Amino acid sequence: MTGVPTATRPVSLLLRVVPLYPVSARRAGQLVYRNLLVARRSWLVFVSGFAEPFFYLFSIGVGIGALVGDVVTDTGTALTYQEFVAPALLASAAMNGAVYDAVFNLFFKLRYAKLYDAVLATPVSAADAAVGETVWALLRGAVYSTAFLLVMLAMGLVGSWWALLALPAAVLIGFAFAAVGLAASTFLRGWQDFEFVQVAILPLFLFSTTFYPLSTYPRPLQLLVECTPLYHGIELVRGLVTGDVRWALLGSAAYLAVMGLAGLALGARRLQRLLLA
Amino acid sequence: MALPGPAATSFFVQRLTAHRHFWRSSAIGSVLEPVLFLAAMGLTLGGLVDRGPGVPGGVGYLAFLAPGLLVAAAMQTATGESSYPVLGALKWDRLYEAVLATPARPADVLAGHLLYVAFRVTTSAAAFLVVLVLFGAAASPLVVLALPVALLTGLAFAAPVSAMAARLEEDAAFAALQRFLIVPMFLFSGTFFPVTQLPVVLEWTAYATPLWHGVALARDLALGTAEAGSALLHVGYLALWTAAGTWLAARTLQRRLVR
C-alpha cells in the first residue's frame, strides 16, 4: 500500500512545531465550542445566572423606588426610580457576569483543572485560549443581557429605539471587564484572593451612579467616579435606553474599548508566560 | 443522640488556628461589604429617600437600613461558613475524618463547627456595629442587643445549611442556594424596604423567612421600638430553625461519618 497520507503527514507534523500566526479565529473557536459542551452539562448554573439581576431589579426598582419617588439625572431628565436603576443594573450585570466568568472559571481551569496545559498540547496557542475565553464570556453575557432587556421592555422601562444599541453596549462592558478579569486572574495566588476581586467589583457596583445620580456626590468624589469604568458603562447604557443620546457617549465607549484591548494584551502575555514557564 | 463533649472545644480551637491564616480576606467579605452597602445605600441613596416619600414612620433611611444590613450580613457570613467548608471537610480535604481519629465524635465536630461560625458571626457583627454607631445610625442604646440577634440569626442559617451540606456529594447546589434563597432573602426580607410594600403572597413569604424575623427584631431594638411579645416571637422562631437545623445536621453527620 502506497499511503497517500504519508505525503501530508510531515506537513501536519511540521505545523505542530513551527510557530503559528499568533491568533486564529478557528483555533479560538474550538475553545468556545469546548465551553459550550461543558455548559450544556451544568445548565442549572447557567440558568441561575439570569436570576440575580432580576431580583435586584424588582427589589430595588419596586421596593426602594416607592421610597425614593422620581429622580432627575445629571443631564436633567426626570425619570421614575425604576427607569433610572434598570439600565444601570443591566450594565452592572454585564460587568459582574464577565468578571465572575473570567476570574472564577479561568482560575479554576488554570490552577486546578490544568485545562490549558492540555490545550497547549494542541495547535491552540495561549493567545488563542485568551481570545476564546473572552469570546465565550461575551456570548454568555449577550444572552443574559438580551433577556434582561426584554424584561425591561415588558415592564415598560425602555424609552427609546436607541435601546437596541444597549445590547452591543452591554457586550462592550462585558468585553472590557472580561479582558481585565482574565489578566487579573493570572495574578491570583489562591481562593482567598477572590476577596480582593470582590473588593474591586462591589464599590464599582455600589458607587458608579447605579442607585443615584452623580450630582449626589461632592465635586472631588464626582471626579473620582468619572475615572472608573463602570460609570462609563452605566452612562452609555442609561443614555441609550432612555434616549438621552449625546456625543459624550462615544467617549465612554472608547474608554471601555481601550480598557478591554489593554486587558486582553496583558492577559494573553501573562497566560503565555505562566503556561510555558 | 450523643451530646458534644470537651473534644468540641479542641475542634473549635483547630478552626480558629486555621482561621489565623486568612482572617484578613474573610474580614473583607464579612465587614467591608456591609460597610460599603451602608455607605452607598444608607448615606447617599438615603439622602434621596429622605427627600422623597421616605420610610413609613418618619424614620431616616440610614437608621432603617443599618440594623437590617447587620443581620443580613450575619446570614451571609454564616451561610458562607457552613456551605463549602462543611462539604469540603467531608469530601475534599477530609478534615472531619481526620478529627474522628482523635477522641472527637461527630457531635463534637458539629458543636465545634457551630462554635466557630458563632465566633465568625459575632466578631464581624461587632465590628459592623461599631461602624453603625459611628455613622450615627443608632437611635437607641438597645442597639447593642442587635448583636445577639445577629448571632441567633446566623445560627438559624448555619445549622440548616450545614445539614444540607452534609448531605451533598457535589457543590453545584450551593450556587442554587445562594441565587434562589439567600440573595432573594437579602433583597426581599425587609432589609432595604418594608415588606408591606410587597404583593400579599410575597409579603407572607417574607414573614416565613428567618431573616425577616432577625431584621425586624434588630430594627425594633435599634430604633427603640421593641416590644416584649413580638421580640419573644422572633427569638422563638429563630431558635426553632437553629434547633431543627442542628438536629438534622447531627443526624446526617453521624450517619455519614460513622459507617
User: Shortest CA distance to B40 belongs to which of A47, A18, A177, A203?
Assistant: A203
**Given CB atoms, is A217 within the 8 Å cutoff of chain B?**
yes
Least confident of A132-146, B115-129, B221-235, B239-253: A132-146
Residue B178 covered by a domain: yes
pLDDT band at A204 (very low <50, low <70, confident <90, very high): very high
Residue B1 covered by a domain: no
Q: Chain B contacts of A203, Cβ < 8 Å?
A: 36
Q: Which helix (H) or strand (E) holds A79?
A: strand A78-80
CA separation for the pair A98, A182 (Å, rounded): 9
DSSP letter for B102, please: T
Domain ranges, ordered by start, for chain A: 41-276
pLDDT band at A109 (very low <50, low <70, confident <90, very high): confident
Q: Which of B26, B54, B179 sits opposite A67 (nearest CB)?
A: B54
pLDDT at A2: 47
Residue B149 covered by a domain: yes
Q: What is the mean pLDDT of residues B51-74?
A: 90
Contact B125, B214 (CB under 8 A): no
Decide if pLDDT at A47 tops 80: no
> Taking CA atoms, what residue in B is nearest to A192?
B25
- Answer yes or no: do A193 and B172 touch at CB < 8 A: no
Mean pLDDT of chain A: 85
Q: What is the mean pLDDT of residues A143-165?
A: 90
pLDDT at A133: 85
Q: How far is CA A81 from CA A57, A150, B48, B148, in A?
A: 11, 19, 10, 36
Select the residue from B187, B201, B212 to test the A interface by mutation, using most A Cβ atoms within 10 A: B187
Please report the residues numbered 138 through 197 in chain A whose beta carbons come closer than 8 angstroms to any beta carbon of chain B: 192-196
Residue B132 covered by a domain: yes
pTM, 2 dp: 0.87
Q: What is the mean pLDDT of residues B71-96?
A: 92
> Taking CA atoms, what residue in B is nearest to A50?
B179
Decide if pLDDT at A18 tops 80: no
pLDDT at A124: 81
Give backbone dihedrals phi and psi of A71, rounded to 5 degrees, phi first: -125, 140
Least confident of A65-69, A147-151, B16-20, B69-73: B16-20
Residue B171 covered by a domain: yes
Measure in Å the smallest separation between the Cα of A200 and chain B Cα atoms: 11
- Residues in B whose CB is inside 8 Å of some CB of A read 22, 25-26, 28-29, 32-33, 36-37, 39-41, 44-45, 47-49, 52-55, 61, 172, 175-176, 179-180, 183-184, 187-188, 192-193, 197-198
| Domain carrying residue B139 | 6-258
Q: What is the DSSP string of A228-244?
A: SHHHHHHHHHHHHHHT-
Residue B96 covered by a domain: yes
Angle B39-B44-B45 (CA atoms, 0-180°, nearest 5)? Answer: 110
- Answer yes or no: do A51 and B180 touch at CB < 8 A: yes
Q: How far is CA B242 from CA B126, B159, B162, B225, in A?
A: 21, 6, 11, 25
Q: What is the mean pLDDT of residues B234-247?
A: 98
pLDDT at A17: 58
A218 CB contacts (<8 Å, ≥6 apart)? none
pLDDT at A100: 82
3-class SS of residue A274: helix
Measure in Å the smallest separation between the Cα of A19 and chain B Cα atoms: 40
Question: CA quadruple A112, A115, A120, A125: dihedral positive or negative?
Answer: negative
Decide if pLDDT at B136 tops 60: yes
**Given CB atoms, is A64 within the 8 Å cutoff of chain B?**
yes
**Given CB atoms, is A50 within the 8 Å cutoff of chain B?**
no
Select the residue from A46, A47, A59, A197 to test the B interface by mutation, using most B Cβ atoms within 10 A: A59
Select the residue from A64, A197, A208, A224 to test the B interface by mutation, using most B Cβ atoms within 10 A: A64
- Write the ipTM: 0.84
Q: What is the pLDDT of residues A206-239, one digit of tens each?
A: 999 999 999 888 899 999 999 999 999 999 999 9
Measure in Å the smallest separation between the Cα of B79 and chain A Cα atoms: 16
Who has greater pLDDT, B29 or B162? B162
Residue B214 covered by a domain: yes
Q: Chain B contacts of A51, Cβ < 8 Å?
A: 179-180, 183
B188 CB contacts (<8 Å, ≥6 apart)? A55, A59, A63, B195, B198, B202, B205, B206
pLDDT band at B99 (very low <50, low <70, confident <90, very high): confident
Q: Which helix (H) or strand (E) holds B1?
A: none
Q: What is the pLDDT of residues A48-72, one digit of tens each?
A: 777 888 898 888 888 888 888 888 8
- Answer yes or no: do B25 and A66 touch at CB < 8 A: no
Residue B235 covered by a domain: yes
Residue with cell 438580551: A146
Q: What is the CA radius of gyration of chain B?
A: 19
CA separation for the pair A27, A83 (Å, rounded): 42
Burial group, residue B2, by CB count within 10 angstroms (0-12, 13-18, 19+) = exposed
pLDDT at A1: 45
pLDDT at A14: 61
Q: What is the pLDDT of residues B181-208, one digit of tens each?
A: 999 999 999 999 999 999 999 999 999 9
Which range has the top average pLDDT, A1-5, A188-192, A206-210, A273-277? A206-210
- Answer yes or no: do B48 and A216 touch at CB < 8 A: yes
Q: What is the mean pLDDT of residues B166-181?
A: 88
Decide if pLDDT at A27 tops 50: yes
Count: domains in chain B: 1
Q: What is the mean pLDDT of residues A179-198?
A: 83
Q: Which of B28, B36, B187 sits opposite A56 (nearest CB)?
A: B187
CA separation for the pair B162, B81 (Å, rounded): 9
pLDDT at B64: 94
Contact A110, A186 (CB under 8 A): yes
